[in-house]
Amino acid sequence: MQYQGLSDTHIVCAPLPLNPRQTETVFRGLNSDIPISWYGTLDILQSISHTDEAVCLEMGLGDIASKHCFRTQLHLARRSFPHLNTIVAPQAGQIHHRELLVQEGISVILTNSYSTTSSPRRPVPMGWPCRNVQWGLWEVLRNTRTQQGQFQTFLSFMTRRQEQKGILKIWDAASKNGNYDHKKFSKITRQVHKLVSKKSATAIRLDQLPDLISRGTSRADPSSILKAA
C-alpha cells in the first residue's frame, strides 16, 4: 500500500450537548478549520438548529433489534438529514443488517469494538483504527488505546515509523457516561487546531474517511488490492 503521501489525519467526534444553550455556545466558538462529527439520538439531532452541519445518528440496541425498527429509524433520520451517512453504535457486532445500512446510504459505523466479520475487504495502513467489513461499509474505532494491547501498539508504531505513513487518530469528546464533556472537547479541539495550523496534520469529518482511503488505494499496487479483496 502506498500511503506515504498522506499526512497525519485527525477526526474529532463529539456527542451533541443536551443543553440547547450550550449547543449554541459551542457552535459559535468553533474553529472553522476543525470539522466536528457530531452525533446523537434522533430526538437530539432534530432539536438542533444547525441542520447544515454533518451529523451522525446514534443508535441503541432497541433501534437495531429488528430490521423493521432499523429501517424506520434510518428513514426518520433521513427525512431530517438527507445527507446522513454515518451511525454510532457501541458494539458493531450487535448490527446484523449491514446490507440494509449500505442500501440506506450509510457508509461508516463509529463503534467501540469491531464486529466479528472476518477478512476486511479493502486494505488500510497498519495501525489505522478502521476496516472495510463489506463493500461500501466501514467500521471505525473510537477509544482506540483501550482496543489495542501493548504489543499491537508498539508494532503499529514501528511500522508507521519505518514506512513513514500518516497516522489516523480518532478523538471522542464524550465523558465516561457518554455525554458531552466541554472541558474534554475544548482540549481536543485546541490540540488538533494547533497541529492543523502548523500544517503538520489535517482534520476531516468521519464521513470523509472512505474517500480519504480511496485516494490512497488508487495509488496502490493493483496486485495488493486483489490479494486483499
CATH code for the domain in which residue 83 is found: 3.20.20
Q: Tell me the per-residue pLDDT of 20-65, one tens digit each, with 9 for 90 and over.
A: 677 666 766 566 678 999 999 998 888 876 555 678 999 887 778 7
In which element (H, E) is residue 214 found? helix 209-217
Distance between CA atoms of residues 77 and 222, nearest Å: 38
Tell me whether residue 2 is in a domain: no
Q: Which three cell numbers stand for residue 152?
A: 499491537
What range does the domain containing 144 cover? 8-228
Of 44-53, 59-68, 140-149, 169-178, least confident by mean pLDDT is: 140-149
Tell me whether residue 114 is in a domain: yes
Tell me whether residue 3 is in a domain: no
Beta strands in 156-200 (DSSP E): 168-172
Tell me whether residue 100 is in a domain: yes
Tell me whether residue 84 is in a domain: yes
How many domains does the structure of the chain reveal? 1
Tell me whether residue 1 is in a domain: no
CA distances from 37 to 10, 183, 195 (A): 11, 17, 18
Distance between CA atoms of residues 108 and 131, nearest Å: 10
Tell me whether residue 50 is in a domain: yes
Tell me whether residue 73 is in a domain: yes
